[in-house]
Each structure stands twice: as C-alpha cells, then as structure tokens.
C-alpha cells in the first residue's frame, strides 16, 4: 500500500463528518439545498439523470462486470460491503424517517424524476456510489485513479441534490455510510480467499450478468431520461466482460 493510501482513505470521511456539523442546522441545510438545486437547474435534466442512476444498486452491480474478470477481489469486496451498507442506509432511513426536500419545500424544488417525500437520510444512491469508490480507491492503490474515482463519486452524490431528492446533509451521510461499508468490505475480502475460488467467481458472474440483463431488458430506475444511458452501460458491460482472453493480475 502506498504512503498516500491512508490519506486517501481517511481524509474524505473526516471532511464529510466536519461538513455535517453546520448542516445539522435545518435552516442552513435548506438554504444550501435551494441554492444548489436552483443553480444546477441550468444544466440539462438528462445530464443529472444519467449521473444519478450511477448510484442505483442495479446499475452499480452491472458496473462490477468491468472489474470481475480482471479483479474479482474488488467485485467480492463490493458485494460483501453491500450488507453493512444496506443495514446502515435502510436502518437510518426507517429509524429517522426524515422528510425529503419536496415534502418540506414543495414547488420551490426543481425535481427530476420521481417526487419523493420520505426516507431522506442518508442518501441511498450516495451510499452505493461511495461503497464502490472506497473499494476502488483501496483496491487499485493509484493516486491518479483515486482523483478520478472521487471526482465521479462526488458528482453522483451531488446529483441527488440536483434532482431534488436529497438534502446536502443526506449526501454527506451517504458518503460516510458508503465509505465505511466499502472499507469493511475490503477488509473482509482480504481475510478470505473466496475470490480465488472458481465456484465463487462463477456465482458472482451469474449474479452480475443477471443484473446487467435485468437492466437491459426491463428496469425502471425512476429516471426515464436516463434510460438510453442505462442501456448503453448494460450493453458495454456485457460486451467487455464477455470479450475473451484478458486478465489483470492483483496489485502487490
């Protein structure tokens, strides 16, 4: 592991936790949401729709096909991390039952896709995205890759504000839930040799191919403008995964 790796792994959650402190004031949280939601409405709705579906669970699992043949250990880490991520995200959503922006602010919110009203904290899409980001950052161990991964993950998280689905506080909470779960998944994957077992890899392959097939054939993410993008992702993931003859060794 490189010297920069601990910084990359712990700086982001530390900053997210610090940013949550001022956002715990509902007035600040609402004011920042409205400012951001209105500012980014200048960009096309399809742009934010395409970004936000990257945090959809089925889409995220389909993306794992890009890594399965080269790095089955990373795919395994994400799948293992999905358990604590789901428990954290849904446990907090159900337990806190916080109202979403549209339920509080009504037509002041620029909404793209579904008009959601309940289960605001934390953002599930952001949680999913940062599970994947934490595993890739910790598993690839590349400074340049880390910058692009974090940039993409932050954009997906920000898209939840842009589509009117979540408060800034929700996004920050999703970042923490996803990052912690992703690191836990990496730890578990490093303690077992399952990714080297052909039956486990076959099981992961069948699961992820099934996800890509479901995304390709019939799926409603709640963002109809993103449907062409979802189809493109599914076709590309299937094509790249099924190409013969290439494999990347695990990093030392």
Question: What does the mean pLDDT of the chain come to?
Answer: 92
247 within some domain: no
Q: What is the pLDDT of residues 42-66, one digit of tens each?
A: 999 999 999 999 999 999 999 999 9
Task: Report yes or no on 26 lying in a domain.
Answer: no
Q: What is the pLDDT of residues 91-134, one digit of tens each?
A: 999 999 999 999 999 999 999 999 999 999 999 999 999 999 99
- Identify whether the C-beta of residue 171 lies closer than 8 Å to the C-beta of residue 20: no
Total domains, the chain: 1
Q: Is residue 49 domain-resident?
A: yes
80: buried, middle or exposed (CB in 10 Å: 19+, 13-18, 0-12)? buried
Asked if residue 184 is part of any domain, the answer here is yes
Mean pLDDT within 67-80:
93
Residue pLDDT, tens place only, 227-241: 999 999 999 999 988
Residue 27 lies in a domain: no
Predicted TM-score of the model (pTM): 0.92
Question: How confident is residue 38, by pLDDT bands cut at 50, 70 and 90?
Answer: very high
Q: Is residue 104 part of a domain?
A: yes
Q: What is the pLDDT of residue 99?
A: 97
Domain that holds residue 110: 5-19+35-242
99: in domain:
yes
Rounded to the nearest 10 degrees, how much is the dihedral formed by the CA atoms of 97, 101, 102, 107? 160
**Residue 182 belongs to some domain of the structure:** yes
Q: CATH number of the domain that 74 lies in?
A: 1.20.144
């Amino acid at each position: 592991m490189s010297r920069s790796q601990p910084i990359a792994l712990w700086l982001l959650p530390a900053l997210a936790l610090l940013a949550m402190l001022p956002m715990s004031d509902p007035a600040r949280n609402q004011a920042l949401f409205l400012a951001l939601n209105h500012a980014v409405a200048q960009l096309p709705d399809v742009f934010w729709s395409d970004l936000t579906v990257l945090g959809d669970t089925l889409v995220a699992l389909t993306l794992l096909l890009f890594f399965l043949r080269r790095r089955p250990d990373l795919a395994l880490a994400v799948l293992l991390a999905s358990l604590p991520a789901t428990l954290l995200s849904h446990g907090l959503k159900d337990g806190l039952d916080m109202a979403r922006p549209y339920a509080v602010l009504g037509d002041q919110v620029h909404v793209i896709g579904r008009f959601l009203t309940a289960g605001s904290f934390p953002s599930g899409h952001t949680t999913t995205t940062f599970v994947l980001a934490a595993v890739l950052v910790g598993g690839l161990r590349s400074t340049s890759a880390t910058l692009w991964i974090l940039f993409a993950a932050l954009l997906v998280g920000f898209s939840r504000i842009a589509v009117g689905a979540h408060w800034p506080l929700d996004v920050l909470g999703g970042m923490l839930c996803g990052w912690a779960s992703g690191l836990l998944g990496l730890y578990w994957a490093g303690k077992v040799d399952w990714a080297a077992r052909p039956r486990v890899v076959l099981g992961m392959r069948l699961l992820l191919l099934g996800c890509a097939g479901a995304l390709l054939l019939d799926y409603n993410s709640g963002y109809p403008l993103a449907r062409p993008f979802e189809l493109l992702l599914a076709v590309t993931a299937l094509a790249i995964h099924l190409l013969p003859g290439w494999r990347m060794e695990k990093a030392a």
